[in-house]
Structure 1
């Protein structure tokens, strides 16, 4: 079974349990906090990933660190991951959980690369256009890349819209080269 399939199944199971137990919002907050903690505390990640640290030690670390700080379901879920030897996938599963919840809420991430910073008004307009096109709420992530020269590149999920000057110049270059090659071929044939 692929890692992606496993992460989806565990994320969906966590969602279903949280929903069934009426603790969805609390688990959402736990997941957000855990992802932030794992991101900022790489030694903790190494504990989860270490094959040398026994499962019972990992289990006690989870209980001690999180015991009263998070929803009981969250602790039980993390302990389940440890028992099932899936603790190395914790971050991926929690990320997938957030993605699942965002999908349910109609929120998508838009990775937008621009050549230079956008004015607030332009940013607001861009979000509005993207929300209109996708029919979803947009969570905008802006990146700068001066090599674009101008324009922008938008990535939403698997879709990419490249309206950068660099891309347009590249396409123009290709068309000019094709035209030149065609002319040369005609000249050689005459």
Structure 2
């Protein structure tokens, strides 16, 4: 979460993000600029130097990027570098996050499906040690990993999902699973939703999902998107994690509590 000057800078850059057009291209351009700023420490320092006037920094970045990125992305970047930043690393982090926002918007009415697919890919990676190793192997190039992802997911997911999974391979987060979780949170925020991870022993029916989502939405005062994890160790009942809150009504939890009381 951005703080201080960087929070204000994020708001200004977000306001410059186009509301329509080829948002997929805007997103990829923002990802590319974020990568450039992370790789070029000198450029990043100049772009965030508080002693240099904002207009001068914007002019420099415009000279470097003009004709190389879309007009929409250039507007976001020049707006961003014109701001004050709490830490130099915040600038590329914000550009990456706004790239995610652009991809979510590009999915339109399929934004809910995008969230589901990001969660499903994260579960796939976590559940497959071989795939996890292949995607985290430092000896493999990013292009090789991207080709692996494209071959695995192909046309089974939305273009926006495929693009976000590709960005998750950039290494800016600790693991690809962490990146996908963060991207899903951004997607939920774009839709003014919360995200709840629900652990159950067996799949929920559509009716049960709707009732649970409605109950959580009433409790938290906003729509809640459900990520359902089928976990046989739950035995029965349900465990819900939303933000820092944990609602544990599982049989296994109650058995653990009973065992502790007997032992005491």
Residues 76-118 of structure 1: CA deviation (Å, up to 9, x unaligned): 245558x97334423675479x76x939x75222222222211
Within 1, Cα distance between the matches of 2:235 and 2:219? 25
**RMSD over equivalenced CA pairs, Å:** 4.3
Q: CA deviation at 1:53?
A: 7.8
- Spell out, residue by residue over 1:18-48, the C-alpha distance to the aligned partner (whole angstroms, 9 max, x if none): 2xxxx67718x959x73xx59xx8x886544
Task: Provide the aligned length of Structure 1 versus Structure 2.
Answer: 159
Is residue 62–residue 79 contact of structure 1 (8 Å, CA) maintained in 2? no
Could you tell me how far 1:148 is from its partner in structure 2?
1.6
Give unmatched runs, 5+ long, in structure 1.
179-190
Q: TM-score, normalised by structure 2?
A: 0.45
Question: Is the contact made by 1:10 and 1:93 (CA closer than 8 Å) also made in structure 2?
Answer: no
Runs of 5+ consecutive residues of structure 2 not aligned to the other structure: 47-60, 102-184
With structure 1 as the length reference, what TM-score do the two structures score? 0.58
Matched, 1:128 2:233: no
Which structure ranks higher in relative contact order (CA pairs < 8 Å, sequence separation ≥ 6)? 1
Structure label with greater radius of gyration: 1
C-alpha contact (below 8 Å) 1:49/1:87 kept by paired residues = no
Give the deviation of 1:150 after TM superposition. Answer: 1.9
Shift in Å at residue 176 of structure 1? 1.1
Q: Tell whether the 8 Å contact from 2:13 to 2:80 is kept in structure 1 after alignment.
A: no
Q: 1:141 is paired with a residue of what secondary structure?
A: strand
